[in-house]
Structure 1
């Protein structure tokens, strides 16, 4: 079953207004990227990857020609490069998205992209609904608040349980 990664346009763009811009990238072999490598890169707007592909293929062919390798061997070497392009096409797309300050939101397993979208948005909307309805929700991506504000619960550390600490060391500062 194919695996899809879900990418949002920016760190702050993962909200309900940006859902039409989410990108689902299928992991695995891309046949059209193998057959039409540079055209596939152009179609998916992977400009830097296209430039890198052109440099690598031209340098590779020039190096093989200068070494005196036959035309059939150069052809088979180019076939291997095309197969590698088909295998790494989704990684190039993910790399380009990460360079453009997109962030990966989730990994979804589904038969088709439509099913992946359905599964992702079903899970994601439940998370968004839970966070939006909770006034005291905390962003778990940042450090915990440590400022000392009178009257705020997060200012005081939690009390140590009366029965001791559960774990390898039952007493704070006890012998090991």
Structure 2
């Protein structure tokens, strides 16, 4: 089972035409983001994360050179930012969508993206059909019990 995050574009209209603009993606480790982080970050339009990734990669390569690491150790050292991008891919994509005006609409626990979208939109459509019941305002009633100060259960005499 996977957790799927659903983000909706700006606006509160509930219509089937608006459903095409929703973005659904899986939360968790992304192999493609780990193996090809620069391409993944560009493809997902995560510009700030891309700038930070490049800066960290340059700093790590400079540190590896200053520490005179051999080829194998330097490569492992350089893979650390890739690992971070792979684990934080969903978070990076969510922040990128929020900067573009999308809002978090919900999350669904299912096996596939199709199941997640079906479950989310069926619940979404059901919510749109049933208006919320009006709530009566709460009425404050005075307490008949005597006021108690301190740690004792009885009022002072």
- Say yes or no: TM over 0.5: yes
CA shift, 1:173, in A, is 7.7
- The equivalent residue for 1:35 is 35
Q: Which runs of 5+ in 1 are unaligned?
A: 139-153
CA-based RMSD of the aligned residues comes to 2.4
CA shift, 1:158, in A, is 5.0
Listed one character per residue, the Cα deviations across residues 97-118 of structure 1 (whole Å, up to 9, x for unaligned) are 1222211011101111000000
Structure 1: 4+ residue segments shifted above 3 A: 157-160
1:83 and 1:159 mapped to 2: Cα distance? 55
Listed one character per residue, the Cα deviations across residues 90-149 of structure 1 (whole Å, up to 9, x for unaligned) are 110011112222110111011110000001001111111113xx6x769xxxxxxxxxxx
TM-score when normalising by structure 2: 0.81
CA 1:60–1:129 in 2, change beyond 3 Å: closer, same or farther? same
- The equivalent residue for 1:25 is 25
- Give the structure, 1 or 2, with the largest relative contact order (CA under 8 Å, sep 6 or more): 2
CA shift, 1:68, in A, is 2.4
CA 1:137–1:74 in 2, change beyond 3 Å: closer, same or farther? farther
CA contact (8 A) 2:49 2:92 kept: yes
- The equivalent residue for 2:58 is 58
CA 1:66–1:13 in 2, change beyond 3 Å: closer, same or farther? farther
CA 1:105–1:174 in 2, change beyond 3 Å: closer, same or farther? farther
- The equivalent residue for 1:145 is none
Q: Work out the number of aligned pairs and report it.
A: 147
CA 1:69–1:19 in 2, change beyond 3 Å: closer, same or farther? same
